[in-house]
Structure 1
């Protein structure tokens, strides 16, 4: 028996410390991407002797990784996973406004995405930093590129479907990086906030490297039904020695 489909979500944060959260679910994909790609790159300094044809490369540093995602923004309602759009589109068509609604739906989806990821926020004088979650995948960074390809149009030339090609670049403050390295130890107490799609076995696997401790973690947190975690809920994961 399969569970419900977990949607990709984007939360917004003030900066790369990810301490001041603006909104946990600033954007939720109507239709999940078909996949994603990660790019990792390292810089090397060349040490090549005069007259030689080979170089001895010396590691310099690692460049922040890039995450590339293609989002489908759809206003036609043809996707079963976009049932809300389908229902509203059907109602609008009966009122003779179907095409106008579909175009407005696409525009709203794109606006919501860009507001969460790339739009200049006047209060902090820059776009938000974001945390992207999809199942047990998590990425911290900012939107560095966004290209929209419009694929389908109504008779008035308004878009009914578009693909947003987004590139996010990793961005983590040195302070958070140091904390993360320290917090990765299973011998320390960890506090984690549940996000949409989290399960106790998955969270236990991430922290301890083994999901078998999830029942003990449930007892520590007073959880009766470990299958129903609530997004935003804070859980404590004690050191393995105490478990």
Structure 2
């Protein structure tokens, strides 16, 4: 449906090669996060010779990326279904029957989340690997840490609202890592779908690491007006040796 808000989803897998799917939508957020933090880190050896005042940092490795997300778990019954990333602060009675509300206890929501991401599974002797998808963003990894801040309670002490702070670490098998590295190589032919806001120089920069090949790519694809790319169009990016 055009204009439909896409919810962040978490799929579960038994292995770090992501071939043995358990459930493609093991968890779907009722309310989308307002944002996320994605971190990549390069590790360098910073040891210096004795008595020196400066030294060269030598690259050692690129660490696995990390993803930090904050989820709002609401069980008050005032959270409108499909409300996107905002808590709708309206009174249920004033909206009528055509504006349904989702009401599920915070405890049940937290259980569903942790069952999908961090709960130890005896059959595979570890928690599941997960694929987190939100629109065009995709992250493969495992849950490293999950902190719950309870914010609102019923008279009997039952939690009505909580914020879950989750940190995921990237985790893929060596075989999958090698496959990803190969498919991103500029020496292979790539097919890409134009997204809103894409330009040919920008797409060429992503594939080859240099935008200077965009005129050659335009020729290969028979583009007359390459300055106005239509979203949804499929373009081919041949190996560098064929266009250099």
Q: Which runs of 5+ in 1 are unaligned?
A: 92-100, 191-199, 218-237
What CA deviation, in whole Å up to 9, does each residue of 1:171-212 have, x standing for no partner? Answer: 11111011011123584578xxxxxxxxx6559x89996975
CA change 1:216–1:39 in 2 (3 A) is closer
Runs of 4+ residues deviating >3 angstroms: 185-190, 200-203, 205-217, 238-241
CA change 1:60–1:31 in 2 (3 A) is same
The separation in 2 between residues aligned to 1:54 and 1:141, in whole angstroms, is 37
Q: Secondary structure at the match of 2:46?
A: strand
CA change 1:75–1:82 in 2 (3 A) is farther
CA RMSD of aligned residues (A): 3.4
Q: Which runs of 5+ in 2 are unaligned?
A: 94-101, 208-216, 218-228, 240-244
The separation in 2 between residues aligned to 1:5 and 1:28, in whole angstroms, is 12
**1:12 matched residue in structure 2:** 12
**2:57 matched residue in structure 1:** 57
- In terms of fraction of residues, the more helix-rich structure is 1
The separation in 1 between residues aligned to 2:123 and 2:80, in whole angstroms, is 38
TM superposition shift of 1:27 = 0.4
The aligned length equals: 197
Work out whether residues 195 and 231 of structure 2, in 8 Å CA contact, stay in contact via their aligned partners in 1.
no
**2:34 matched residue in structure 1:** 34
TM superposition shift of 1:50 = 2.2
TM superposition shift of 1:215 = 5.0
The separation in 1 between residues aligned to 2:230 and 2:125, in whole angstroms, is 45
CA change 1:202–1:126 in 2 (3 A) is farther
User: Map of 1:61-210 to 2, 5 A cutoff?
Assistant: 61-81=61-81, 105-185=105-185, 187-188=188-189, 201-202=194-195
The separation in 2 between residues aligned to 1:39 and 1:48, in whole angstroms, is 27
TM superposition shift of 1:133 = 0.4
Moved more, 175-184 or 138-147: 175-184
Q: Which has the larger radius of gyration?
A: 2
The separation in 2 between residues aligned to 1:158 and 1:216, in whole angstroms, is 52
CA change 1:45–1:15 in 2 (3 A) is same
The separation in 2 between residues aligned to 1:74 and 1:81, in whole angstroms, is 11
Q: Secondary structure at the match of 1:56?
A: coil
TM superposition shift of 1:49 = 2.3
